Structure 1
Amino acid sequence: MRVAFVGKGGSGKTTLSALFSRHLARSGAPVVAVDGDINQHLAQALALDQHEAFAAPPLSARTGEIKDYLRGTNPRIPSRDAMIKTTPPGRGSRLLRLLGDDEIHTHHLQEVGGVPLMVTGAFDESDLGVSCYHSKLGAVELYLNHLVDGPGEYIVIDMTAGADAFASGLFTRFDMTFLVVEPTRKSVSVYRQYRDHAAEFGIQVSVVGNKVTCEDGLDFLREHVPDDLIAHCEQSPYVRAHEQGRTQGELEPHNLRTLDRMRAAVDARGKDWTTFQRHAVEFHLRNATAWARESTGQDLVTQVDPEFQHGPVALAAASA
């Protein structure tokens, strides 16, 4: 299951992404965490020392090589230059298993705090005034487009803040979207904006309240997020100590129960490969006609393989 964490900047989505990833990993579940935020802090939230560098190369540094690998022998994609971030897989494409022995997982994963982690890559000086951060997220979108995750497997992605995720079709690549909301009017405003955009595409969001310090804060969330609130986290001395570099102690019982509720909500969500494929094709056709034809000089509409149906059957056929 693909799980995204979104929300207002500073709401705590990176912290919750890390807590949820570690919670899954400690249970023995196969999990991969992906830092897809412009502020690349997930490694530190997972316990990477501030003086230690994340050694695995960022996905955005090898987008060309990733394209070459994923397109495989697909005749509809003759070169990496003909492949854009929304290009869907087809017959001949390489499909991925979670934590598989493939070029992407073996090159880009590093275990941090017991969690296998991949990072998108920071927005550096050479990008200023030239590109937007969503160009770096293209490698993540390609990865998710070609991944066939199975039952009991999890991909946890810390996304960009606010409604920036709607700048691409990446928001449709998830099975579960957790919107982290503080008990403030600004945070609720971001929730409403995200909820309304997502609803246009049939995407459901589930709200996790965060930084709740009193009953008044919880009542505020219940009033303003009446239908989507599934759990909340109380202010956490454990998290504060962890952020200060003191890793002693354990997460508080209430917050631990919240992580359990979140996992139960994810596990209860069915996998819908048909809708996943429909969204992939829809957003690729949008991009192909809006800018990619002019940018590449090719008609990328023809990259859609009408006979291809994503999911375990396609993976089995590709592996045969």
Structure 2
Amino acid sequence: MRIAFVGKGGSGKTTLSALFSRHLARSGAPVLAIDGDINQHLAEALGHDGDPLDAPPLGAHLRDIKEYLRGTNPRIPSADAMIKTTPPGRGSRLLTLLGDDELHARHVRRVGDVPLMVTGEFDESDLGVACYHSKLGGVELYLGHLVDGPGEYVVVDMTAGADAFASGLFTRFDMTFLVAEPTRKGVSVYRQYRDHAREFGIRVAVIGNKVTGEDDLLFLKEEVGDDLLTHLVHSSWVRAAEQGREQGELEYQNLHALNVLRETVDALPKDWATTHGHAVEFHLRNARAWADDRTGGDLAAQIDPDFVPGPPALA
């Protein structure tokens, strides 16, 4: 299952992404964490310390990723003709989670119990030239060509706020958890996400974070209603871990919340047809809006009408 953590900057979505990834990994489940935020802090949240993580960023190797994933697909003559929304077709090279392939070998690094991929930072050479979402193309292509199986998890720490809607990446997830603090600003992003997600049938559940008492919980219930799935209380354990002095065990209430998240994800049906349908729709949108002119081709022709998404495609 593919899980996105979104929310206002400072809401704790990176912390929750790390906690949930570690929770899954320590249970023995296959999990891959991806840092898709402009502020690349997921490695630190997972416990990395010292020199910068030596994981080659996806955003810096986008052309190589395209070249690898297009495989022998006759509808994609070159990497230059491929864009981040190009869906797989017959001949495309599909991926299994943490499979024995060059993409995982090059980009995955382990932080404690958790394998991690990163999109890369927004650096000085990008200023005034590119938007951060161009770096997320590697994540979009990766998820578009991934055939994940039962009991496997991809956890993505997404960009803050409603910026996640700047590309079709938001449709590539089986579940989106929106992290909200019990404040008016904390729930403002929820309203934006709720309205956009409903248009495409995207599953969104709210996780209250940094809850200190009944008043906070009541506020969240009044603001988000039935979309409030669970909540985490203010955590001394998390604060200690952020200060580099992790000790003891996560609070019982917060461990329970992580279990609720997993139970919710595990209860969801995998809908390959809808996911692939969203990929095709956003590819056509991008083709019409800019990509046909940019590449000089008709990118609608990249869509393979006879491609069957999901496990059958691996055969």
TM-score by length of 1: 0.98
Write the letter of the residue equivalent to 2:132: Y
Map of 1:21 onto structure 2: 21
The answer on whether the counterparts of 1:195 and 1:204 sit within 8 Å (CA) in structure 2 is no
Q: Which runs of 4+ in 1 moved over 3 A?
A: none
Write the letter of the residue equivalent to 2:261: M
Q: In 1, Cα distance between the equivalents of 2:38 and 2:312?
A: 35
State the shift of 1:113 in Å: 2.1
SS of 1:62's partner is helix
Write the letter of the residue equivalent to 1:40: Q
Write the letter of the residue equivalent to 1:4: A
Q: In 1, Cα distance between the equivalents of 2:52 and 2:202?
A: 36
Map Cα deviations across residues 95-134 of structure 1 (whole Å, 9 max, x no partner): 0000100111111011002100000000000000000000
- Correspondence 1:34-113 to 2 at 5 A: 34-49=34-49, 51-113=50-112
Map of 1:176 onto structure 2: 175
Write the letter of the residue equivalent to 2:226: D
Q: In 2, Cα distance between the equivalents of 1:23 and 1:75?
A: 42
Q: In 2, Cα distance between the equivalents of 1:162 and 1:62?
A: 26
Write the letter of the residue equivalent to 1:218: L
Map of 2:285 onto structure 1: 286
Write the letter of the residue equivalent to 2:62: T
The answer on whether the counterparts of 1:6 and 1:158 sit within 8 Å (CA) in structure 2 is yes
Write the letter of the residue equivalent to 1:219: L
Q: In 2, Cα distance between the equivalents of 1:315 and 1:134?
A: 29
Map of 1:155 onto structure 2: 154
Map of 2:297 onto structure 1: 298
- Correspondence 1:238-253 to 2 at 5 A: 238-253=237-252
Equivalenced residues, count: 315
Map Cα deviations across residues 202-225 of structure 1 (whole Å, 9 max, x no partner): 112000000001110001011111
Map of 2:230 onto structure 1: 231
The answer on whether the counterparts of 2:174 and 2:203 sit within 8 Å (CA) in structure 1 is no
Q: In 1, Cα distance between the equivalents of 2:238 and 2:292?
A: 48
Q: In 2, Cα distance between the equivalents of 1:170 and 1:227?
A: 25
Map of 1:274 onto structure 2: 273
Map of 2:32 onto structure 1: 32
Q: In 2, Cα distance between the equivalents of 1:26 and 1:41?
A: 21
Q: In 1, Cα distance between the equivalents of 2:308 and 2:249?
A: 44
Q: In 2, Cα distance between the equivalents of 1:24 and 1:95?
A: 24
Map of 2:116 onto structure 1: 117
SS of 2:200's partner is coil
State the shift of 1:149 in Å: 0.2
Write the letter of the residue equivalent to 2:173: F
Write the letter of the residue equivalent to 2:7: G
Map of 2:125 onto structure 1: 126
Is 1:218 paired with 2:217?
A: yes
TM-score by length of 2: 0.99
Q: In 2, Cα distance between the equivalents of 1:287 and 1:120?
A: 21
Map of 2:260 onto structure 1: 261
SS of 1:148's partner is coil
State the shift of 1:18 in Å: 0.1
